[in-house]
Amino acid sequence: MTRLEEECKAYAVMNALKYGKAAAKPILGKILATHPEERSAERREALLKLIEDVVEEVNRLPRNKLEELARNLSTLLHHTREEKKSYEVALPPLPSLSENKEAAGSNKARGTKSVVVTRFAPEPSGYLHLGHAKAAFLSYVAAKERGGVFRLRFDDTNPKLAKTEYEAAIKGDLQWLGIEPNVVSHTSDYLELLYAKARQLIEAGRAYVCTCPSEKIRELRQKGKPCPHRNQDPEEALELFDKMISGHFKEGQAVLRYKGELSSPNTAMRDPTLMRIIEAEHYRLGNKFTVWPSYDFAAPVVDAEEGVTYAIRSKEYELRAELYHRILKDLGYGDIVLIHISRLKAEGYLTSKRKIRELVLEGKLMGWDDPRLLTLRALRRRGMQPLAIKRFALSFGLGKQENKADLSLLFKENRKLLDSKANRYFFVEDPVKVSIQDDDGVLPKLVKLKKHPSRDEYRTLPLSTGEGLFISRRDWENFVDGEIIRLKDLANAIVRKADGKTEEKGKEGRGPVLEITGGEHKGLPKIQWVPANFAVEAGLTFPLPSVDKEGNFIENSLEIKRGYAEKNVLDLKPREVIQFERMGFFALDKKEPLTFIFSS
């Protein structure tokens, strides 16, 4: 069942419970409110048919089944309403295409001029990080808010780097974020077309084949001087280009270059490379091709062929915009609006794919999901909510100004989302075992506690006064003898230090003692506790900044706090996020040994 079908069913169930029977039209309005991309006449008609089918199915169910479904689907509707808020984040208006209507309409596959088409084009050479999420969400929402089309295109034109593993990871990460592309494609799908477009530029005198060594090309470009092949006639250049494709030249022996402007202050215009030879097996196409396009050539051509109207990309490509537009013009395509956004920079975090790969191989990082990283896999592992990432990403808008990202805002958004749904549990760090003196028999043998303050769901903790409790050493050391404290959600207790000078066996005294007492508990210091007979050892992992100001990796950047958690945590599912009260939100990472990672 797709996410859209789940939402239709959820609304139908709620509708049926409230009014006796579900009706299609009210549900249609709710779905369109959160899915503006479904508002076109054709898609609206298909959506209505889907809703009618779901309504018919739901109206046949008995009430007890509806109530069971409602419990399972209520969380989905809550998230859907939360996501609607994120659509309301004000993005700056996209630049107008009105000046280029005729040209824009000429691009192949674009369709109706009024349709907004955006794309996210990652290279499948690594794992996505928070900066990629920013670019992906801005492109996705820019299209979806306007009922447009969002395309995911894998820029897989370097067979030495592109891998199936990375493509699968990117798809999985985007799905987790809730980004659902209308179309998925690969730049490599267009290789034959790119060869044809290269020949078109050669025939027009706009490209030539250069066989200079790479060092010579670099030197001449820096000096703004032509290479000896620049004045090739088109017939010779076409013959050499065909030799590149047929395998006559080896890697590094020949490249196809654009005939730009050697005197331009913009070095991107100084005869850049359009196509080069890479002798490596491609993860999709094997050894079928050896001549591959550069980003500068592939981006404008494939954007135009796929009907892209707005290409949102990193500010680092801004100097290459002139070349992008020039290639479109030379090939007779309509223009495309380029929007350059700032890169996401976060102090104290490692973002270099090369450096991360090295540290993973050296065993200094656990992997690409090491919680010290900002990869989406790492953020997911530590319990970051996709909606928090979405709101954080959209908060930057389409601005170009370079600012260091304040990640505290991301964690704040995450806490807000987790607070409404994460179950509560007890954990005591660096524990001290205390004896319990309960002369009046106040304490129950089974303690019933709420899993969440706003829900009538409970967990139970068996309590043995003979076994005692674990409390935090820091709490115990801060108390004075005779002080009255509150064992949270349990009872008041008097701290007795005078009659127990040690907690070590075989020495004088009973060890730490808490004497249960009655009275008001308002204003008393509250502490966590875990029954000694219902405790399990656990470790809490806290990721710290892993890069110093000079960019060096800090090896001791994971802090581990050990203690006891209530045994109820053994029922948690992997990656489930909970709140250890007074500690924060944590995601279950492993059960053996029992380990949690700080989320926010």
Residues assigned a catalytic role: 123, 343, 353
Segment (H or E) for 564: strand 558-566
CA distance 588 to 578: 8
Q: Is the Cβ–Cβ distance between 241 and 257 less than 8 Å?
A: no
* Cis bond upstream, residue 574 (ω within 30): no
Q: Is the Cβ–Cβ distance between 425 and 569 less than 8 Å?
A: yes
- What is the amino acid identity at position 205? G
CA distance 487 to 505: 25
Structure tokens that stand for 105 in this block: 């309409």
* Residues forming a β-bridge with 515: 437, 494
Rounded (10°) angle between helices 386-394 and 407-419: 140
Q: Count of H helices and E strands in the chain?
A: 17, 25
> Going by DSSP bridges, is the β-strand pair 431-437/526-527 parallel, antiparallel, or unpaired?
unpaired
Spatial CA neighbour of 152 closest among 128, 123, 120, 125:
120
DSSP string of 153-175?
Answer: EE----TTT--HHHHHHHHHHHH
Count other C-beta atoms under 10 Å from residue 36's C-beta.
15
CA dihedral 99, 103, 104, 105 (to 10 degrees): 120
- 499: Cα separation from own chain's centroid: 55
Burial class from Cβ neighbours inside 10 Å (0-12, 13-18, 19+) for residue 146 reads middle
Q: Which long-range contacts (CB under 8 A, 24 or more apart) does 556-561 make?
A: 557/372, 558/371, 558/372, 561/429, 561/430
Spatial CA neighbour of 568 closest among 419, 418, 423, 384:
423
Q: Residues with Cβ < 8 Å from 522, sequence gap 6 or more?
A: none
Q: Is the Cβ–Cβ distance between 115 and 145 less than 8 Å?
A: no
